[in-house]
Amino acid sequence: MSDKTDRKSKKHINDDRIFYEELEKLLADEKVRGMSKYRQHFGTNTLKHSIRVAQTAFDLSNRLGWDIDEKELARGALLHDYYQYSVLDERIDAIKAYRHGTRHPWIASKNAEKDFGITDKEKNIIRSHMWPLTLRTPPKSREAALVCMADKLIAIKEMVFRRF
């Protein structure tokens, strides 16, 4: 039986120690903590949103029984919105909001690459998290698909239900 299988239920479980250690490393960086300055989704900020997306993506991986790279999932998920600027209120300027939606994944990946030296898989996680809005950059790994799904789930909770 593999290390990633829960002996009792025989369900696949990813290593939360690896995942959360990587999150903690990133959260120790002042640039990452600086994401808290930027408002996002009606009452939260980019850092809180990104932490929720990371945790949700990891939880989904276990629920789906998907074997993932815990470190790359943590890095790609936490840095998926590492664009480091304020966004205008989406209700006021829909065109700018749309442009932000299609462009910020590329800006975030460039910033993350410059500051943290991300892998190709992490780049795809970040660049594809807005798919299908960003048609040319579909998720190419389980980790990217998980972040794409988790980002939408968390955004719905934050925007529609105003939860968190």
| Per-residue pLDDT tens digits for 100-145 | 566 889 999 999 999 999 999 999 999 999 998 788 899 999 999 9
Please name which of 26, 48, 132, 127 lies closest in space to residue 80, comparing C-alpha atoms.
Answer: 127
Please name which of 134, 136, 72, 82 lies closest in space to residue 109, comparing C-alpha atoms.
Answer: 82
pLDDT reported for residue 94: 54
pTM of the model: 0.85
Q: What is the CA radius of gyration of the chain?
A: 16
Report the amino acid identity of residue 41: H
Per domain, the residue ranges of the chain are 16-85+94-159
**Can you give the length of the chain in residues?**
164
pLDDT reported for residue 37: 87
CB 12 within 8 A of CB 3: no
pLDDT reported for residue 1: 43
pLDDT reported for residue 8: 45
**Does CATH number 1.10.3210.10 belong to domain 16-85+94-159?**
yes
In a 3-state reduction of DSSP, which class is residue 69?
coil
pLDDT reported for residue 6: 47
pLDDT reported for residue 97: 59
pLDDT reported for residue 83: 79
Residues of the chain with confidence (pLDDT) below 50: 1, 5-8, 88, 90
